[in-house]
Chains A and B, each alone.
Chain A
Amino acid sequence: MDRGMVRLGLLTLVSAAVLAFAIAFATAIGDYTIGLGTVSLAITNGLGLTSAELPPIEESVVWDLRLSRALVAALAGAGLSLCGAILQALLRNPLAEPFVLGISAGASTGAVCVIVLGVGAGSLSLSAGAFAGAFAAFGVVAILSNGATSGPNHTILAGVAASQLFNALTSYIVTTSGNAEQARNVMFWLLGSFGGVRWPDVQLLMLIVPMGLALCIYLARALDAFTFGDEDAAALGVPVGRIRLVLFALTAVMTATIVSMVGAIGFVGLVVPHAARFVVGPMHMRLLPACAVIGAIFMVTADIVSRVIVAQQTVPIGVVTALVGVPFFAIILYRARPQA
């Protein structure tokens, strides 16, 4: 094994350890602090590996509430970061992130339709409405940008237009027919929250995020070939139209699923790929796994911060990620100035 491989192996081990520790820490901390020893026993109990006697409340808090929450945070962070890395490569724009395709705006319109207008008459959940809205926005972007064949700037402009359209629709619905309580719920949901997640959410993300990671690692070489644009990618043997379509669809599915579960959590998809590039460089075979791991650690940590920063209260997760994300965004803007 050469030194590069050893370094890569070491990096994998270290990051796995950090992620495991972050998740354990997230399950230990909260209004009701539980010792790490009890946490690990509760987790092994839950997995059926041990059957230690534990206070039932503590066991239930760890297994039913906090562990599922931490896992959803990790998977959502990984998924949003992957989407960001994919879009930055395909659109060749350092400021691209999942929400530039208007997906979060669409999701919020969908959610508002369900909460405020009562679309579906109770048979539709908020998540289903958000998922449908996210896909509607994706469809609008696809139509506005003439399908998968138009240039990257065209797609970004179409995304901006779709975001404005859906945000306007959301505001219109909330201001004309919502009451104060509903508006507050929508606001809270829009800023993101891991509060309501349970094991079925973990299972769904366990299916979608690892599959998405595998698919885009499989296409990592093709993503590299987009470095100098679509035509150069084609000259390097990449079937450009097909790859763009597959990857856009993948980002739409991952983002819509995550947003419909935990709300629109901004800046993770933007910030994490850039941070990962500092560590492992721009080539996607390394960048994509690094994004997944860093995104997971970042989101779990942000969730811990959101729970402890104000006593007895949970700050919306989107507020925490944005407070970290905005300064980073400024650094990227500064560095992205055209080179002389």
Chain B
Amino acid sequence: MSVVAENLFWGVKRRTIVSDVSLTVAPGETLGLIGPNGSGKSSLLRLLAGLRRPTSGHVEINGQDVTQVSRKALSREVAFVQQSSATDTNVTVADVVRLGRTPHRSALAGWSETDEAAVGEALESVGMTSRKRQSWQTLSGGERQRVHIARALAQTPKVMFLDEPTNHLDIHHQIEILRMVRDLDLTSIIALHDLNLAAMFCDRIVVLQQGAICACGTPQAVLTRDTLRDVFRVSAHIGVSEDAGRPHIRFSAE
């Protein structure tokens, strides 16, 4: 499914946080959203997912305005993984992943085989099947993140938004999660801090600066010395990695 945003504006009080953002994400594409702290990545992600209403402008997912679709109908197609969400409730891993079936179930319907299959598959793809009876409270930060991703997968979405999904993960799981998301047959939009990971796994990258898009294109086109200096205020050397000629950034200490 495609995601199209036109002239999005959003802010709190008088401060504009997202400023005139327009973008188009093709079906099946993996789009990276990068930018310094406070550049509006998380806010833009929530606007695109329909979790917040823009002050002006609109978002269409698969040609439908997200504010016109009911929350429930939208959640059958669109999943959102937050940066970190916690609970005090003593739930199991399986309980959490089952929550992903919420938009597919009517109020009093029983648990169907389709639900069970979706949950099983989701647990399998994040490698947590053997842990499904474990209590959520005993998981490490990285394991919790993988369970959240499994919950999003159990929604069987066509579009997935992820807000810094690789925070708290070790390098193996960072790469594994991003590879999995890229290889899934869905449109994904990922806010990322690690520029090299963005370069490795995204088809296209959008660079945000103070709420506005300042560059958009393939990793090669976007991740240039000039962008890194002007937007991220670092000096870096950009090489070419062995994977399919994607850029590789080496930051310099000086």
Contact = CB atoms under 8 A, between A and B. Distances in A.
B85 A232 contact: yes
Given A221-B107, A282-B90, A227 B82 contact: no
B88 A229 contact: no
Contact of A237 (B86, B89, B95, B103): B103
Interface in A214-252: 217-222, 224-225, 227-229, 231-232, 234-239
B99 A224 contact: yes
B137 interface: yes
B82 A94 contact: no
Given A221-B102, A234-B51, A237-B102, A92 B87 contact: yes
A227 B79 contact: no
Contacts of B250: none
Contacts of A92: 87-88
Interface string A284-324: 00000000000000000000000000000000000000000
A198 interface: no
B93 to A, nearest CB: 13
A16 to B, nearest CB: 21
Contacts of A235: 49, 51, 75, 79-80, 82
Interface string B149-169: 000000100000000000000
A339 interface: yes
Given A236-B102, A237-B102, A277-B90, A227 B96 contact: yes
B76 interface: yes
Contacts of A232: 80, 82, 85
Nearest to B107: A218
A225 B99 contact: yes
Nearest to B85: A228
A336 interface: yes
A283 interface: yes
B91 A236 contact: no
A339 B72 CA distance: 33
Contacts of B137: 339
Most buried by A among B72, B105, B137: B72
Nearest to B102: A236
Chain B interface residue number, banded: 20 to 34
B238 interface: no
Contacts of A221: 102, 105, 107
B175 interface: no
B51 A231 contact: yes
A282 B95 contact: yes
B214 to A, nearest CB: 27
B205 to A, nearest CB: 24
A234 B72 CA distance: 9
B75 A282 contact: no
A132 to B, nearest CB: 33
A218 B105 CA distance: 12
Nearest to A242: B71
Contact of A282 (B73, B80, B89): B89
Given A94-B88, A228-B85, A283 B95 contact: yes
B57 to A, nearest CB: 20
Contacts of A217: 108
Contacts of B86: 228
Interface string B37-55: 0000000001001010000
Contacts of A237: 70-76, 102-103
A228 B100 CA distance: 12
Contact of A218 (B76, B82, B85, B108): B108
Interface in B145-202: 155
Contacts of B80: 232, 235
Most buried by B among A93, A218, A220, A235: A235
B111 to A, nearest CB: 10
Contacts of B49: 235
Contacts of A227: 87, 89, 91, 96, 99
A228 B76 CA distance: 18
Contacts of B107: 218-221
Contacts of A336: 88
Nearest to B75: A237
B49 to A, nearest CB: 7
Most buried by B among A93, A94, A221, A238: A221
B71 A239 contact: yes
Contacts of B85: 228-229, 231-232
Nearest to A278: B90
Contacts of A229: 85, 87
Nearest to B137: A339
A92 B87 CA distance: 8
Instruction: For the complex of A and B, list the 7 residue pairs with the smallest distance between their C-beta atoms, beginning with the closest.
Output: A237-B75, A237-B103, A237-B72, A235-B80, A228-B85, A236-B102, A282-B89
Interface of B: 46, 49, 51, 70-76, 79-80, 82, 85-91, 95-96, 99-100, 102-103, 105, 107-108, 137, 155
15 contacts: A94-B88, A221-B105, A225-B99, A227-B87, A228-B86, A228-B87, A228-B96, A229-B87, A231-B46, A231-B85, A232-B85, A236-B75, A237-B71, A237-B72, A238-B71
Given A227-B89, A237-B76, A282-B89, 6 more contacts: A218-B108, A235-B80, A238-B102, A239-B70, A281-B95, A283-B95
